[in-house]
């Protein structure tokens, strides 16, 4: 029987790489923080559906909003790391990755009463080098591998498998995001923009098809439930489409997804 594993990447709207051309890192502290209210909406929605999830919390957010992390913990969800600075791992050296992830680990462990077992790379930009760092930092699992070849930011691992869970040579378990085999290719089917683009009945059928042969891992971000976030018309068209499409529909779609399947945190399946 397949499991349905739910995760939230806790970052604010201005952390998204799609908005990088419009909002620089130097401006982050000057932006309106919306992640707190949006995450609390998610927590309430999960309570309504008696659902627990894994929250991959960005260290930058945890440092500025410690009470939000404590509330996620108090409500019984798994806390995991999303790194600190939301930089693509492909742009960082091993030492930079270690400093970034180690900083987030220290912040999250200080704020919670649970071990930090899992990690997810910003924009799924995982690398073999990063996995070695995670092993050195005693992470039990990573959930960053998205085995599709048509995305400009996703990383890749030398270990190739379509299984939901793969034990890597470093000793870390890789909890892979799912794809749907159709039209001779593997379509991303794990959540995020794909969940917003695809009509919900079609998406649900894809979830059932994938779950017939493996565990299904789903992800989304708090800013995806926020159609009132700042808009930047000067962004490249691809960025605007990826970031803003159907934000007004995410809450209702998510409520349907929570009703249609029984969800649990990723760590509970490892």
* Lookup: tokens for 202: 């079609």
* Lookup: tokens for 119: 């990690």
3 state DSSP class of 122: helix
Q: Indicate whether 187 pLDDT > 90.
A: no
By percentage, how much of the chain surpasses pLDDT 70?
A: 97
Separation of CA 117 from chain center: 15
- Euclidean distance between CA atoms 96 and 90, whole angstroms: 11
Q: Each residue of 50-99: pLDDT tens digit?
A: 999 999 999 999 999 999 999 999 999 999 999 999 999 999 999 999 99
Q: What is the pLDDT of residue 72?
A: 98
Q: What is the pLDDT of residue 117?
A: 98
By percentage, how much of the chain surpasses pLDDT 90?
A: 89
Query: Mean pLDDT across the stretch 247-255?
Result: 98
3 state DSSP class of 222: helix
- Euclidean distance between CA atoms 146 and 192, whole angstroms: 12
Q: Indicate whether 251 pLDDT > 80.
A: yes
- Euclidean distance between CA atoms 122 and 104, whole angstroms: 13
- Beta strand 263-264 with 4-10: parallel, antiparallel or unpaired? parallel
Q: What are phi and psi of 221, to 5 degrees?
A: -120, 150
Residue pair 202/232 in contact by the 8 Å Cβ criterion: no
Residue 133 CB partners (closer than 8 Å, separation 6+): 94, 97, 98, 101
DSSP 151-220: -SS----SS---SSEEE-TTSPEEEPPPEEEETTEEEE-SBHHHHHHS-HHHHHHHHHHHHTTS-EEEEE
Q: Indicate whether 36 pLDDT > 90.
A: yes
Query: Mean pLDDT across the stretch 211-236?
Result: 97
Average pLDDT, the chain: 94
Residue 238 CB partners (closer than 8 Å, separation 6+): none
CATH of domain 4-269: 3.20.20.370
Side-chain half-sphere of 141: how many Cα atoms within 13 Å?
A: 25
Cα–Cα distance list, 251 to 44, 216, 224 (Å) = 12, 20, 8
SS3 per-residue string spanning 7-22? EEEECCHHHCHHHCCC
Q: What is the pLDDT of residue 149?
A: 53
Residue pair 207/216 in contact by the 8 Å Cβ criterion: yes
Give the pTM: 0.96
Q: Indicate whether 33 pLDDT > 70.
A: yes
Q: Indicate whether 32 pLDDT > 90.
A: yes
Q: Each residue of 122-176: pLDDT tens digit?
A: 999 999 999 999 999 999 999 999 876 555 567 678 887 888 999 998 999 999 9
62/182: higher pLDDT: 62
């Amino acid at each position: 029987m397949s499991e349905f594993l739910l995760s939230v990447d806790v970052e604010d709207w201005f952390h998204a790489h799609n908005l990088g051309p419009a909002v620089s890192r130097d401006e982050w502290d000057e932006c309106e923080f919306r992640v707190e209210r949006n995450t609390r909406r998610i927590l309430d929605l999960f309570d309504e559906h008696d659902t627990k999830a894994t929250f991959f919390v960005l260290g930058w957010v945890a440092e500025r909003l410690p009470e939000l992390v404590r509330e996620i913990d108090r409500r019984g969800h798994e806390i995991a790391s999303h790194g600190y600075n939301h930089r693509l791992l492909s742009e960082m050296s091993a030492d930079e990755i270690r400093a970034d992830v180690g900083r987030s680990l220290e912040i999250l462990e200080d704020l919670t009463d649970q071990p930090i077992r899992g990690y997810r790379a910003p924009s799924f930009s995982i690398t073999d080098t990063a996995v070695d760092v995670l092993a050195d930092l005693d992470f039990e699992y990573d959930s960053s591998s998205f085995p599709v070849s048509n995305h400009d930011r996703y990383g890749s691992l030398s270990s190739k498998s379509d299984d939901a869970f793969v034990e890597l040579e470093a000793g870390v378990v890789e909890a892979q995001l799912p794809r749907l085999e159709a039209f001779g290719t593997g379509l991303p089917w794990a959540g995020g923009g794909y969940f917003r683009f695809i009509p919900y009945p079609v998406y649900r059928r894809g979830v059932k098809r994938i779950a017939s042969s493996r565990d299904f891992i789903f992800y989304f971000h708090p800013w995806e439930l926020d159609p009132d976030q700042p808009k930047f018309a000067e962004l490249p068209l691809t960025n605007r489409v990826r970031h803003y499409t159907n934000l007004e529909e995410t809450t209702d779609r998510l409520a349907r997804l929570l009703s249609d399947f029984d969800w649990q945190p990723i760590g509970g399946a490892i």
